[in-house]
Structure 1
Amino acid sequence: MKKIDVITMGCSKNLVDSERLIQQFEAEGYKVEHDPSDPKGEIVVINTCGFIGDAKEESIDTILDFAEARKQGKIQKLFVMGCLSERYQTQLQQEIPEVDKFYGKFNWKELISDLGNNYRWDLDNERTLTTPGHFAYLKISEGCNRTCSYCAIPLITGIHRSKPMDDLLEETRNLAQKGVKELQIIAQDLSYYGKDIYKKPMLASLVDELSKVDGIEWIRLHYAYPAGFPKDVLDVMAQNPKVCSYLDMALQHISDRMLKLMRRNVTKDETIRLIKEIRTKVPGIHLRTTLITGHPGETEKDFNELYDFVKRTKFERLGVFPYSHEENTYAWKHYHDNVPDEIKKERADEIMELQKEISFNLNQQKIGNTFKVIIDRQENGYFVGRTAFDSPEVDPEVLISASEEVEIGQFYNVRITDAEEYDLYGHIDNDNFEV
């Protein structure tokens, strides 16, 4: 059995694990496809997500589909790993016996030996990229020490564990040698990086060192936490041209009452002052945040306060999740899920409608300016790229006519000629570059 299909569900942190697993398989001579549209491997490995209700349902449906294929003899082996498997392994084993073996979030390396091979530790910092070859995700830690009421991640991943800086630098050098130019720095909590192994926040030092790796041109930061945010990273961002003026920092809410119920360990005033300081120290920075509507106890007044905050703050990037009542979280044990699902969704939709207007107005201000853009792909008559203010898959894209002479994976100066809520249009402009 030399053909394997690897299916990845959920976030980019899972994707990194899948890429490491694929590298191991390929080193043993397997032919591996990632997320194929028509899976035909003798072996299928599903890397699951177990974060919130919708993600769990999607993972379970995928497992059931392949379990049926296993029963019909269309595949010979079926393995499941990842967050859902970590969280519900006993129940899954009982309910879906067609799966040959379930692995958790961290013991997936056993799969290599279960297939009769040895894990290649000399390849531990190497991956087979599933992203376009010019960008990659770099996971700098696992786990989380926060105790947010709604979040099941610490139940799945355990406490925060930073990856040593030397290992991350080696991994980055390997990625750069493969042609990677752009790093998306990811973790469950960037703000905590280094506190466990270096006894102090080390995100700024890490980012500065990563920027020195030859070939890396852009570094972007994802999933920071406002409480205890390491402000020295702002100095690196402001002074180092390789560090994008972009920060993904989930705030979840702004009402002091809700922040307390959510166990966020930060106040409304502290949040507003932090945002002001970030924007002052890094002029032009694009902030991405995520919010939750319908957390237990959220009143109309709380929601209106959140809505007004979004309207006033004008985040460049924003997403909203209706609250999901997750088993064994603090909220599950201590709060009644008292906001109806339709209200949760209505509130989320209201904020996204507001954000659509904000995003449109901010994008309109980009018309006539020229930005450095990296080209990701070609589709539907356009080359599709991103500015330094845009992360793959979640942020606006720049559309350039396919008649222009550009190459995927390269940087170009692009003059913006039109803008919609979430997309920009432009043409190559090498004579008039400005940001």
Structure 2
Amino acid sequence: MRKNTIDIITLGCSKNLVDSEKLMKQLELNGYRVTHDSENPQGEIAVINTCGFIGDAKEESVNMILEFCQAKEEGRLKKLYVMGCLSERYLKDLQVEIPQVDKFYGKFNWNELLADLGKTYHSECAIERHLTTPKHYAYLKISEGCDRKCAYCAIPIITGKHVSRPMEEILDEVRLLVAQGVKEFQVIAQELTYYGIDLYKKQMLPQLIEQMAEIPGVKWIRLHYAYPAHFPQDLFRVMREHSNVCKYMDIALQHISDNMLQRMRRHVTKEETYALIEQFRHEVPGIHLRTTLMVGFPGETEQDFEELKEFVRHVRFERMGAFAYSEEEGTYSARHYKDDVAEEVKQRRLDELMAIQQEISNEQCHAKIGKEFQIIIDRREGEYYVGRTEFDSPEVDPEVLVKDEGKILHIGSFHRVKVYDADDFDLYAEIIS
């Protein structure tokens, strides 16, 4: 064990990662050496930031906690603390079932850990973080919680109502990060389009993004996790007029059948969804849309699923993920619907849907052969430099591989490339400038 060293382990989404980065900075301000997701934790203290969204994520979080409990029992760890979504949702149960953990914290009171360690929370550094991402990009969380209350989703149970961060605080954080070398911002929230309604009594996402785009040094802004109902129309103009706002939108649609959309409590129709996608592509030519779809929701018929497949074939999303419904206790669907789609049917539908998307992705990647793009270099891997276009978010989207031919490419630098080959998901390119 390394004295005065704390290992932080982050599970789940990028919103959790931001919390971990803020905690890391506070710990460093108090004199600790902090590591993140170390493959070989050696600190005398460990903090696990958990995810509690769906069954697989909860299982991963519990297994990680138990693994560190064993390390503590074997004398390889002095103190173990747990925070995050799983801890927020099941605090009392976890305290009883896993007493080896020194203390559980929820999603929003993790700064109490500092007091329990006998340290001080530095409120004057509240917007500062220890970035765990490559230094040229960062995740920027603009709100917490969600007011949507979709039937299947446990997030409002865990995180509560939507709470926007003040715009000036966000912009100050952007300026601070730019001064530290950050060029690319992944703007994240549970639901972006609701931003500002609680603070300013209207949707303020377009104004926020426009002001971000005008900050010198901000090269790319990418938007994640929008909601289709009542989409803020002025955002189309902002995306068109500001070249550093990426032509990219991550908008989780979940389904297309009116039967499913109504049962999911999505407050949008099939017709409205198709119209919104058409508007995206008309208003922002070249935009790449990322979405997430769900199969096997209670009551999903073969006809509903056929509509979903036709939707994917027709719209041809540039980026798409899908998952099978899993019942989450406390949600509307768990209380009101029977989980009546067999697991093997869910898996078959999931496989069918992803097979359709894989073919579409392959065709879209090959259509880019011979075209030129601007990319940012993320890392060096083997004989390739690995980068991304404005249409690619880190870790979840395709990458651009540039063979090392003796020219040194710096991490975080932008280059113009020409694509000469492609596979199902990635592009191969050569540097032009």
**TM-score relative to the length of structure 2:** 0.99
1:71-101 per-residue CA deviation (whole Å, 9 max, x = no partner) reads: 1111000000000000001111001000000
Whole-angstrom distance in 2 between the partners of 1:103 and 1:415: 49
Confirm whether residue 409 of structure 1 aligns to residue 412 of structure 2.
yes
Aligned counterparts of 1:291 and 1:255: Cα–Cα separation in 2: 12
Deviation at 1:345, TM superposition (A): 1.6
Match of 1:433 in 2: none
Matches within 5 A, 1:8-407: 8-403=10-405, 404-407=407-410
Deviation at 1:402, TM superposition (A): 2.1
- 1:272 positional shift: 0.3
Separation in 1, partners of 2:141, 2:327: 27
Deviates most, 398-407 or 69-78: 398-407
Distance 2:123 2:36 in 1: 22
Backbone CA RMSD of aligned residues = 0.7
Alpha-carbon distance between aligned partners in 1 of 2:279 and 2:218, rounded to the nearest angstrom: 28
Question: What stretches of structure 2 of length at least 5 have no aligned partner?
Answer: none
Unaligned runs of 5+ in 1: 431-435
Deviation at 1:364, TM superposition (A): 1.1
Deviations along 1:388-413, one digit per CA (max 9) or x if unpaired, are 00000000000001224311110000
Distance 1:48 1:279 in 2: 37
Q: Which consecutive segments of 4 or more residues in structure 1 shift more than 4 A?
A: none
Distance 2:348 2:64 in 1: 28
1:383 Cα shift? 0.5
State the alpha-carbon separation in 2 of the partners of residues 321 and 139 from structure 1. Answer: 24
Shift of 1:346: 1.4
Count of aligned residue pairs for this structure pair: 430
Deviation at 1:380? Answer: 2.3
User: Distance between the aligned counterparts of 1:212 and 1:118, measured in 2?
Assistant: 35
Q: Aligned with 1:252: secondary structure?
A: coil
Alignment partners' CA distance in 1, 2:185 and 2:323: 26
Cα distance per residue 1:318-369 (max 9 Å; x no partner) = 0001101000000000000011112112111111111111011111111111
1:423 pairs with one of 410, 413, 426: 426
Deviation per residue, 1:108-142 (Å, 9 max, x gap): 01001110111000110010100000000000000
**Paired amino acid for 1:395:** D
Cα distance, 1:51 vs structure 2: 0.2
Cα distance between partner residues in 2 of 1:322 and 1:406: 41
Q: Which amino acid aligns with 1:344?
A: K
Q: Distance in 2 between matches of 1:147 and 1:15?
A: 24
Mapped partners of 2:235, 2:394: distance in 1: 22
The one-letter amino acid of 1:382's match is Y
Q: CA deviation digits over 1:27-81, x for unaligned, max 9?
A: 1111100000111110000000000000000000000000111111110000000
Whole-angstrom CA distance in 2 between matches of 1:381 and 1:66: 36
The one-letter amino acid of 2:421's match is D
Counterparts of 2:217 and 2:241 in 1: how far apart (Å)? 19
**For structure 1, which segment, 334-343 or 145-154, has the greater mean C-alpha deviation from structure 2 after superposition?**
334-343
TM-score, normalised via structure 1 length: 0.98
